Amino acid sequence: LTGDELAVKVVVRYGKARAYAALRYVPELGYPLMYVEKVEEET
């Protein structure tokens, strides 16, 4: 697999926090970009 073939989403829970992250290929940049979509805290 290469970066342009991947579209990945993950959710990670740590304590009361939950982080939503993703990796996707951005043609304008020419490489896969990893980023955090949002972070939540459970009440």
pLDDT at 1: 83
Handedness of CA 21, 25, 30, 32 (dihedral sign): positive
Handedness of CA 23, 25, 29, 31 (dihedral sign): positive
pTM: 0.78
| Rounded Cα gap, residues 31 and 3, in angstroms | 7
pLDDT at 38: 98
pLDDT at 43: 84
pLDDT at 17: 98
Where are the chain's structural domains? 3-41
* Per-residue pLDDT in tens (0 to 9) along the chain, 43 residues: 888 899 999 999 999 999 999 999 999 999 999 999 999 998 8
